[in-house]
């Protein structure tokens, strides 16, 4: 089984409940990689027999660190409208809530469409060397990341501050795997905290809340196959020990697949 699908494997524990477990290959500095947690919450709704439509939006709030081992998921259908459906999801361990989420699924309709933001100019991923993470964070090994610009600071080098917080990179699952909504959710959290780039070194930081907005439908995602997607991220303001960063993910042909926005705690 692919490492992503292994992490997303859930066992039914009742009409609205699921059981899962963390895996060591998705470990972050504290708990599992936030992107895999978000993808798991989305998958719980996808598996629910009352779910209809495709993911439109997902907001995940990281309440407390998730410990290694088993966890429980509870999904609650709040409201089904004519065109969309609203869900609440909770992840808990030993009765303590560790993560909460809201998800919106919807039926997409044909109509006028346009994309205002531009696809970033970038070298082809085949012309860029795969990145080697500068520190021992295990989950990086599940992705093939190739930085166009804004690579991670070298922890062995002299800290060099940057006037820009922008990172652009190509990324795909490793080993290769076709893109779907769960994989797209995980990739939406692929970007390291922007404060690392601005300050030129690693500081304590962690995502508090992330929202992912899905612009692609099933057909557009299927067209991506198992190839690279192009992502770009930047921050907006650092204040009071928090900052926000936004990201955009494009298909190889320029289709905007998803956008995300997250709020991050930091200490520097």
What is the residue-wise DSSP string for 21-85?
Answer: E--GGGB-SSSB-HHHHHHHHHHHHHH-TT--SEEEEEEEEE-SPPPSSEEEEEEEEEEE-SSEE
In this predicted structure, what is the pLDDT of residue 185? Answer: 98
pLDDT at 134 over 70: no
Give 156's pLDDT tier (boundaries 50, 70, 90): confident
CATH number of 3-107+123-266: 2.40.160.210
pLDDT at 133 over 80: no
Give 94's pLDDT tier (boundaries 50, 70, 90): very high
Give 268's pLDDT tier (boundaries 50, 70, 90): confident
pLDDT in tens, 103-122: 999 999 999 999 999 999 99
pLDDT at 151 over 80: yes
CA distances from 111 to 107, 108, 125, 254 (A): 13, 9, 33, 20
How many Cα atoms occupy the beta-carbon half-sphere of 224 within 13 Å?
30
Strand partners, 54: 106
In this predicted structure, what is the pLDDT of residue 29? Answer: 83
d(CA 48, CA 242): 35
For the chain, what is the mean pLDDT? Answer: 95
| Six-digit token string for 132 | 């080697």
What residue ranges do the domains of the chain occupy? 3-107+123-266
């Amino acid at each position: 089984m692919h490492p992503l699908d292994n992490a997303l494997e859930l066992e039914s524990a009742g009409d609205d409940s699921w059981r899962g477990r963390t895996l060591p290959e998705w470990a972050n500095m504290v708990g599992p990689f936030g992107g895999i947690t978000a993808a798991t919450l989305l998958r719980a709704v996808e598996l629910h027999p009352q779910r209809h439509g495709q993911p439109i939006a997902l907001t995940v709030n990281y309440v407390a660190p998730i410990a290694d081992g088993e966890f429980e998921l509870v999904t609650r259908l709040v409201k089904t409208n004519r065109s969309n459906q609203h869900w609440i999801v909770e992840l808990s361990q030993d009765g303590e809530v560790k993560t909460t989420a809201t998800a919106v699924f919807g039926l997409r309709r044909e109509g006028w469409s346009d994309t205002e933001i531009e696809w970033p100019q970038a070298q082809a991923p085949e012309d860029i060397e795969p990145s080697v993470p500068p520190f021992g964070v295990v989950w990086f090994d599940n992705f093939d990341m190739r930085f166009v610009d804004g690579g991670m600071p070298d922890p062995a080098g002299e800290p060099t501050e940057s006037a820009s917080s922008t990172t652009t990179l190509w990324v795909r699952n490793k080993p290769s795997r076709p893109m779907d909504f769960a994989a797209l959710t995980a990739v939406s959290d692929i970007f390291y905290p922007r404060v690392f780039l601005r300050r030129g070194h690693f500081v304590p930081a962690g995502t508090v809340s992330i929202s992912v907005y899905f612009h692609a439908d099933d057909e557009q995602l299927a067209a991506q196959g198992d190839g690279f997607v192009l992502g770009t991220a930047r921050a907006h303001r650092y204040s009071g020990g928090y900052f926000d960063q936004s990201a955009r993910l494009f298909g190889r042909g320029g289709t905007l697949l998803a956008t995300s926005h997250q709020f991050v705690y930091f200490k520097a």
